[in-house]
Amino acid sequence: MWSPPNPKQYNARVWFIVRHIPAGQVVSYGQLAAALPVPDGDDADQYRRLGARWVGAALRNVGPQLPWWRVINSRGGISLPAGSAPALEQRHRLEQEGVPFNAAGLVDLQVYGWHGLDDWLNEQTLP
């Protein structure tokens, strides 16, 4: 299965979390996927393999009302095609929030990662 069993519900959960990522902090696709419960009707092993991709798919084509730019890959990089307008926009938006990139184009996840995600989620009711 290449998409969640209930894409509408899954996307709503991803968007709910992304909407609350604090400015100046980032999460990885995989970190966000791991924070969500395995969707009903899905295999846990399959979800571990595909969850990050599902998060990426949920963020495709969202508007500026959702801070999509705060979601990066597990290395701390931008996953959009290098030099593309969306990649340049993502980097610019993060830098505007005070998130620097090193010479290799990566964000230090130890410093700028949202380490309070799990605690925050424990206080929330997911859609």
Locate the domains of the chain by residue range: 7-122
Find out whether 47 and 66 touch, Cβ atoms under 8 Å: no
Domain 7-122 has CATH 1.10.10.10: yes
Q: Interior CA angle at 122 toward 117 and 127, to 5°?
A: 90
What is the pLDDT tens value at each position of the chain, 127 positions in all? 477 878 899 999 999 999 999 999 999 999 999 999 888 877 888 888 899 999 999 999 898 899 999 999 999 999 999 999 999 999 999 999 999 999 999 999 999 999 999 899 889 888 8
pLDDT at 99: 98
At 63 the pLDDT is 84
pTM for the predicted model, two decimal places: 0.92
